[in-house]
Structure 1
Amino acid sequence: MAGGKERKSKHTAAAGQRFQGGIQFLKTKGQHILKNPLIVQSIVQKAGLKSTDIVLEIGPGTGNLTMKLLEVVKKVIAVELDPRMVLELQRRVQGTSYSSHLQVIQGDILKTQLPYFDVCVANIPYQISSPITFKLLSHRPIFRCAIIMFQREFAMRLVARPGDPLFCRLSVNTQLLARVSHLLKVGKNNFRPPPKVDSSVVRIEPKHPLPSVSFKEWDGLIRLCFNRKNKTLGAIFRQKTVLSSIEKRYRTHQSLQDSEQMQKLDGEDIVMLGDVSNDTSMAIEGCDYQDMDTLEDEADLQAPSSFKDKVLGILKEGGFEDKRSSKLTQDDFLRLLDIFNNAGFFFAS
């Protein structure tokens, strides 16, 4: 009897993961198909679509959302990894007026070179939420907006503001590049099979023009600041690992600057330098071949305690020593990066 109950339970679970066409959804691949037509219609409406739009749909699954998109836009480009879903999509449009308006790309969205599109609509596997978000934000030309279904906690991190418990590095980095707003909460029972958590639909509008800052440089600083987001910046930048990381980049930048200065010297200057120009140890230390007193001063500056004092001095002068990352605004972080850069400190990996 126990075995019979077990077989029945397994059969019921398997049946609950199939839709009317007999395709079994794989939770391991993040396949949770949105089945509620009211929510599908709401997503289409909130996307603000135009009849001339080309829409990129990521993870169309069996095409419930795809068919609604095709009713209102010029073209849908659907990127789908699972060949079974690709066949189902093609089956649904076959013999209809929509067949010429749907392009299906079978492949991994993270490895696919994205074509031009005006709007992105996606119900994505939650485990790749972050890389998909930043892949979209790095896409050129800039698209109008993306309407994406995320796991609810991830979505709330995207829209979190300074002081919110979920405000984090993800919040800051995304909001540097885009305006993000929460549109709709979607309960887990609206999916087949239902996921373990609720979801949310978020609107992402890339900023145009983008802030004039290197994203790698920005992210390098933000990564350090959110090392312990509830500690003061003074406490974070006192940590040996943080200071070591900053000093390594500082020395590298100084070395590169010296190398560039050497290349600008004319032939006569190089001859005057003689053997000193081949002294790699001096170049590594960031020397600019001034008099020995200046060199000794610079050597003192590079000593561990003095280096820490210099870093903390920058924070103090900028009014950041007692501030916490969890409370800083985008403008605060931009100003912090600016004062560090102006002092010769850089954070790009």
Structure 2
Amino acid sequence: MSVKHERTKIEKHHGFEMNKELGQHILRNPLVIKSIIEKSQIKPTDIVLEIGPGTGNLTVKLLEKAKKVIAIEKDPRMIVELQKRLQGNQLAEKLEIIQANILKQDLPYFDICVANIPYNISSPIVFKLLSHKPIFRSAVLMFQREFALRLIARPGDKLFCRLSVNTQLLAKVDHLIKIGRNNFKPPPKVDSSVVSIKPRNPQPEVNFLEWDGLVRLCFNRKNKALSSIFKTKSVVKMVETNYKTYCALNNIEIEEKDFDMKKKIIDVLKSIEFDTKRASKMDIDDFLL
């Protein structure tokens, strides 16, 4: 089948207006879809999770490779289009459709996730996937390009941020493909990128809420020295409150009569030579220390 014929086949399913609030942009280029499938390395025994299948351009190709595809779609119009497309096709037997808001839906078991993610909920989807148990093998996801570049950014990069650190704590993230906006219908205002996210197994033994609180604090002024950030009145007060709560819960007596949390914080930072470090240049091991 020629690419031109395949493109026409794909576009005939677009008989209604896309919902901008749901971030609906249908990937229509069959060569890009083929590349995503190849990069996903789907096994015949795999259960694949697809988020927002739309009219099924990617779904059909996933069904050809996988044991089963579980597609979670919020828009009932898209579900109807997908069902029409697969009517009378044996591949339909391998497809399970769940009509739901992905952020409110408990995820089923899956081996790999492949999806064109709605740009407006990219971050919560990433961390919903990474909190899922049991740990899946990998996710191949399409995002707005700048968001994707933030996911893969390294210390010292301009886009290195809290998102970079939190994602890379939990997973190995790699850039796979850059995709121009004209490969979609309707075209979004920005280009896209496909990334591979492979959860670390086992996951690091950290309290993620506490970890995120620390990282958030450091990246509020990521180019400032840590000593400058941690000696501000608001931060000192917060740390002191948390420290005293921790001591009370663990029956630890605060022995110092003239307890000075600001001095204690600076002394700790200096003892590990972190007082002059900046979050923008710190790697995961630095934060873990």
For normalisation by structure 1, the TM-score amounts to 0.78
User: Which SS does the other structure have where 1:60 is aligned?
Assistant: coil
RMSD between aligned residues? 1.3
Distance of aligned partners of 1:151 and 1:173 in 2 relative to their CA distance in 1, 3 Å threshold: same
How much identity, in percent, do the aligned residues show? Answer: 62
- Is 1:298 matched up with 2:240? no
- Is 1:125 matched up with 2:118? yes
- Is 1:215 matched up with 2:173? no
- Is 1:34 matched up with 2:17? no
Partners in 2 of 1:242 and 1:157 — Cα distance? Answer: 26
Partners in 2 of 1:114 and 1:20 — Cα distance? Answer: 28
Aligned partner of 2:227 among 218, 231, 234: 234
Aligned partner of 2:60 among 64, 67, 82: 67
Partners in 2 of 1:250 and 1:75 — Cα distance? Answer: 50
Aligned partner of 1:174 among 156, 160, 167: 167
Q: Structure 1 stretch 212-221 or stretch 201-210: which is displaced more?
A: 212-221
Partners in 2 of 1:233 and 1:188 — Cα distance? Answer: 40
Aligned partner of 1:248 among 212, 235, 241: 241
Q: How much does 1:298 deviate?
A: 2.4
5 Å-filtered alignment, 1:9-88, equals 20-88=13-81
Partners in 1 of 2:78 and 2:238 — Cα distance? Answer: 47
8 Å CA contact 2:48–2:70 kept in 1: the answer is yes
8 Å CA contact 2:13–2:81 kept in 1: the answer is no
Partners in 1 of 2:12 and 2:225 — Cα distance? Answer: 52
Partners in 2 of 1:235 and 1:179 — Cα distance? Answer: 31
5 Å-filtered alignment, 1:300-339, equals 300-301=258-259, 306-335=260-289
Q: How much does 1:195 deviate?
A: 0.6
User: Which SS does the other structure have where 2:257 is aligned?
Assistant: helix
Determine which structure has the larger helix proportion and give its number: 1
Partners in 1 of 2:160 and 2:15 — Cα distance? Answer: 42
Q: How much does 1:21 deviate?
A: 4.7
Q: How much does 1:217 deviate?
A: 2.0
User: Which SS does the other structure have where 2:38 is aligned?
Assistant: helix
Aligned AA (2:73): E
User: Which SS does the other structure have where 1:133 is aligned?
Assistant: helix
Moved over 3 A (4+): 18-21
Aligned partner of 2:176 among 177, 183, 207: 183
Q: How much does 1:254 deviate?
A: 1.3
Partners in 2 of 1:197 and 1:19 — Cα distance? Answer: 24
- Is 1:107 matched up with 2:107? no
Structure 2, unaligned runs of 5 or more = 1-10
Aligned AA (2:97): V
Computing the radius of gyration over CA atoms, which structure comes out larger, 1 or 2? 1
Count of aligned pairs between the two proteins: 279
Partners in 1 of 2:212 and 2:248 — Cα distance? Answer: 22
Aligned AA (1:220): G
Aligned AA (2:54): G
Partners in 1 of 2:14 and 2:238 — Cα distance? Answer: 55
